[in-house]
């Protein structure tokens, strides 16, 4: 199974966090709540609720693949290794510039990497019909120059918090 260069190209084109703090129209399947500062973003991504939400979303994908596409799921570790290598080489240096500029913690970088890894994994299994696509929706928010940084409510109901 190959990841496909399209997803890497999408990620490489992102103008990271260029629209944070503004409230443009964001089209996705979630209700959204905007925050307007890095301090608010940090307060949201630091909550265990955000980590729990993204973990639930990842678990949905792995359970789905294990139950319905076991043969494809067997390649999970191979795909993950390639995706992580891409992120470390191509994304982390860009994210670390923002991290240093706004004096953010390592959790910031970890959150972005986790989101993008999830998007790459969902994209990699695009041939699996009806797979979950939470992280691909999150990717579209990054592509708009925003930072998806939290969740308000109980997954899967609630609101996505965006800076």
pLDDT digits (tens, 9 = 90+) for 40-67: 999 999 999 999 999 999 999 999 999 9
pLDDT at 29 over 90: no
pLDDT at 124 over 80: yes
- Please give the residue range of the domain that contains residue 104: 5-11+29-162
Does a structural domain hold residue 18?
A: no
Q: Which pTM value belongs to this model?
A: 0.95
What confidence score (pLDDT) does residue 23 get? 74
Does a structural domain hold residue 105?
A: yes
What confidence score (pLDDT) does residue 136 get? 97
pLDDT bracket for residue 9 (50, 70, 90): very high
What confidence score (pLDDT) does residue 1 get? 62
Does a structural domain hold residue 21?
A: no
Does a structural domain hold residue 50?
A: yes
Query: pLDDT tens digits, residue range 92-116?
Result: 999 999 999 999 999 999 999 999 9
Does a structural domain hold residue 154?
A: yes
Distance in angstroms (rounded) separating the CA atoms of residues 110 and 98: 13
State which H helix or E strand residue 90 sits in.
helix 76-90
Sequence-distant (6+) residues with CB within 8 A of 74 are none
Does a structural domain hold residue 68?
A: yes
Tell me the β-bridge partners of 150: 161
Does a structural domain hold residue 103?
A: yes
Provide the number of structural domains found in the chain.
Answer: 1
Sequence-distant (6+) residues with CB within 8 A of 62 are 73, 76
Does a structural domain hold residue 46?
A: yes
């Amino acid at each position: 199974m190959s990841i496909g260069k399209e997803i890497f190209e999408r990620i490489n084109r992102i103008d990271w966090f260029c629209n944070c703090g503004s409230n443009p129209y964001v089209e996705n399947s979630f209700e959204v709540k905007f925050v307007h500062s890095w301090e608010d973003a940090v307060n949201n991504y630091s909550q265990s609720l955000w980590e729990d939400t993204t973990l639930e979303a990842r678990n949905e994908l792995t359970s789905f693949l294990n139950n319905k596409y076991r043969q494809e799921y067997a390649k999970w570790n191979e795909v993950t290794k390639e995706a992580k290598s891409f992120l470390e080489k191509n994304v982390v240096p860009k994210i670390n510039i923002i991290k240093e500029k706004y004096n953010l913690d390592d959790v910031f970088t970890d959150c972005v990497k986790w989101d993008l890894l999830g998007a790459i994994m969902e994209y990699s299994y695009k041939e699996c019909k009806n797979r979950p696509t939470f992280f691909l929706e999150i990717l579209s928010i990054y592509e708009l120059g925003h930072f998806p940084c939290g969740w308000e409510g109980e997954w899967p109901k609630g609101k996505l918090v965006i800076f």
